């Protein structure tokens, strides 16, 4: 019996997808393999991939520009492993869409990751992998899934990214909160969306607006409804009086520099150079929730990988056991975490701190690649419904410099998934 080619293609597609379905794939940034570290995904806006500042750009690109996304990660098994990558399309809520691969990809959606290098002169050896993501057809949310070629059910990590086409015009302004009791701690996002020339049936209902602070998926505002609809001018205004468009300003991030182990750099107390590894002790930190706001420059929570002696952090950067110390009395009923983009803003055992009675302080140890890192401290209650509080130790100030992103999603008539039809980035309290 001759099986039609289309049927073979469908069967093969579901054979590939079955392991992902069986593992109940989570559409979040997450590393499943503990031997994989420093997963970076960023727009390749320069041909110099050793430029550390490239990773300060979020993985968001315009479909109207020819800027590819670059993936880099390290495998600390120090043995070559064959990895493959595929893309998953998601709706505005990051739930998986019903689109088939052919609807959003130009080529076969299963790519080998073949470019790799070995680490050079590092105490902790690793393989450094690179991969340029293939182009996609539709603007929207995507999940990059990297898995073991020899075992398709073994997912190594997942990373979110977005593509957009600006079919609408978004005008936004950030100011301190209009609420008198929050004007010194919170920031308010007022905006207007112009949809002239864009086909939409019910603009006040059909557009899904998401606001994100400092590129963090744990700091978002969803479900906003326009405060005014100017039907004749085709403009939606979002100037809300219920404070649903208000977020805590937070504080400037702390940072430290481990680009060299030959001497102490910024905010490093000491470095122990052992035979098998280096240990860096970050200077002892104290709470910042009392007093006034202090201006300082930061990466808004991001980090860069670099090695001062060679200027090539990709393969010359070593992994350093980094010790954090927070000098506060033990707080009952909460867990304390050191947090940042290096851990995808997730609170887990990797960045959880323990209280040391001898030091009267909390401590945490993390294996981090050489570079410059932003971080802060977060507490989480230990009850049945855990509550996260980033202001308990760091404080919150409306004068803090922050970046905000505005995402506008829409599902066009006859379309089967949400598309990102407008993306706008706006900063507040910029000083340079």
Q: What is the pTM of this model?
A: 0.93
Mean pLDDT of 3-28: 53
Q: What is the DSSP string of 134-182?
A: PPBSS-EEEEEEEEETTEEEEEEEEEEEEEE---SEEEEEEEE-SSGGG
pLDDT band for 291, please (50, 70, 90 cuts). confident
How far from each other are the two terminal CA atoms of the chain, in whole angstroms?
A: 70
What's the pLDDT score for residue 48?
Answer: 81
What's the pLDDT score for residue 178?
Answer: 93
Distance between CA atoms of 226 and 221, rounded to whole angstroms? 14
What's the pLDDT score for residue 1?
Answer: 45
* Angle 183-184-187 from CA coordinates, rounded to 5°: 60
Non-local CB neighbours of 264 within 8 Å, separated by 6+ positions: 270, 271
Least confident stretch, 11-15, 141-145, 184-188, 281-285: 11-15
What percentage of residues in the chain have a pLDDT greater than 90?
Answer: 90
What's the pLDDT score for residue 363?
Answer: 98
Residue 7 pLDDT > 80: no
What's the pLDDT score for residue 70?
Answer: 97
State the Cα torsion 344-345-348-349 to the nearest 10°. 70
Distance between CA atoms of 76 and 34, rounded to whole angstroms? 9
Residue 50 pLDDT > 90: no
What's the pLDDT score for residue 21?
Answer: 46
**Which domains does the chain show, CATH number per domain?**
30-164 (2.60.40.10), 169-248+400-428 (2.60.40), 254-394 (no CATH)
What's the pLDDT score for residue 46?
Answer: 80
What's the pLDDT score for residue 431?
Answer: 82
Residue 9 pLDDT > 70: no
Least confident stretch, 1-15, 186-200, 295-309: 1-15
Residue listed under structure tokens 């039907």: 231
Residue 15 pLDDT > 70: no
What does the pLDDT look like over 301-340, one tens digit per residue? 999 999 999 999 999 999 999 999 999 999 999 999 999 9
pLDDT band for 18, please (50, 70, 90 cuts). very low
What does the pLDDT look like over 402-423, one tens digit per residue? 999 999 999 999 899 999 999 9
Mean pLDDT of 30-56: 92
Instruction: Give the pairing of strands 30-31 and 151-164.
Output: antiparallel
Query: Hey, what are 139's tokens?
Result: 């603007």
What's the pLDDT score for residue 24?
Answer: 67
What does the pLDDT look like over 100-151, one tens digit per residue? 999 999 999 999 999 999 999 999 999 999 999 999 999 999 999 999 999 9
Residue listed under structure tokens 């300003």: 249
> Residue 156's Cα: distance from chain center in Å?
17
Residue 398 pLDDT > 80: yes
Least confident stretch, 94-98, 240-244, 421-425: 240-244
Least confident stretch, 19-23, 68-72, 175-179: 19-23
pLDDT band for 6, please (50, 70, 90 cuts). very low
Q: What is the DSSP string of 1-49?
A: -PPPHHHHHHHHHHHHHHHHHHTT---S-EE--TTEEEEEEEE--SS-T
Give the 3-state secondary structure of residue 414. coil
């Amino acid at each position: 019996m001759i099986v039609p080619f289309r049927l073979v293609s469908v069967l093969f597609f579901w054979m590939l997808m079955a392991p992902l379905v069986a593992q109940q794939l989570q559409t979040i940034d997450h590393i499943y393999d503990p031997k994989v570290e420093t997963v970076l995904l960023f727009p390749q806006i320069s041909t110099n991939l050793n430029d550390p500042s490239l990773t300060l750009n979020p993985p968001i690109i315009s479909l109207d520009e020819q800027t590819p996304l670059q993936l880099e990660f390290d495998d600390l098994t120090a043995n070559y492993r064959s990895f493959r990558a595929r893309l998953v399309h998601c709706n505005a809520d990051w739930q998986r869409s019903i689109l088939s691969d052919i609807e959003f990809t130009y080529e076969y959606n299963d790519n080998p990751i073949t470019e790799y290098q070995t680490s050079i002169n590092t105490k902790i050896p690793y393989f450094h992998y690179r991969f340029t993501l293939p182009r996609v057809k539709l603007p929207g949310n995507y999940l990059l899934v990297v898995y073991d070629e020899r075992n398709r059910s073994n997912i190594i990590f997942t990373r979110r990214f977005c593509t957009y086409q600006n079919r609408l015009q978004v005008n936004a302004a950030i100011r301190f909160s209009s609420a008198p009791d929050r004007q010194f701690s919170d920031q308010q996002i007022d905006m207007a969306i112009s949809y002239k020339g864009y086909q939409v049936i019910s603009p006040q209902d059909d557009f899904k607006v998401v606001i994100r602070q400092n590129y963090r998926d744990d700091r978002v505002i969803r479900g906003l409804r326009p405060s005014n609809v100017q039907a004749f001018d085709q403009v939606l205004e979002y100037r809300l009086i219920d404070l649903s468009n208000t977020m805590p300003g937070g504080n400037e991030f702390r940072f430290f520099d481990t680009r060299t182990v030959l001497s102490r750099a910024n905010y490093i107390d000491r470095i122990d150079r052992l035979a098998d590894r280096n240990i860096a002790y970050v200077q002892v930190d104290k709470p910042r929730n009392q007093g006034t706001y202090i201006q300082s420059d930061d990466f808004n929570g991001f980090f860069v990988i670099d090695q001062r002696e060679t200027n090539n952090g990709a393969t010359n950067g070593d992994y350093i056991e980094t010790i954090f110390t927070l000098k506060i009395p033990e707080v009952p009923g909460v867990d304390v975490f050191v947090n940042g983009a290096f851990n995808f803003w997730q609170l887990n055992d990797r960045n959880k701190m323990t209280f040391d009675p001898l030091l009267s302080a909390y401590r945490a140890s993390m294996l981090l690649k050489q570079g410059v890192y932003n971080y802060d401290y977060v507490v989480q209650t230990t009850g049945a419904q855990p509550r996260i509080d980033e202001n308990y130790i760091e404080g919150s100030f409306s004068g803090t410099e922050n970046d905000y992103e505005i995402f506008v999603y829409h599902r066009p008539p006859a379309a089967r998934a949400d598309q990102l039809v407008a993306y706008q980035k706006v900063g507040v309290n910029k000083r340079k």
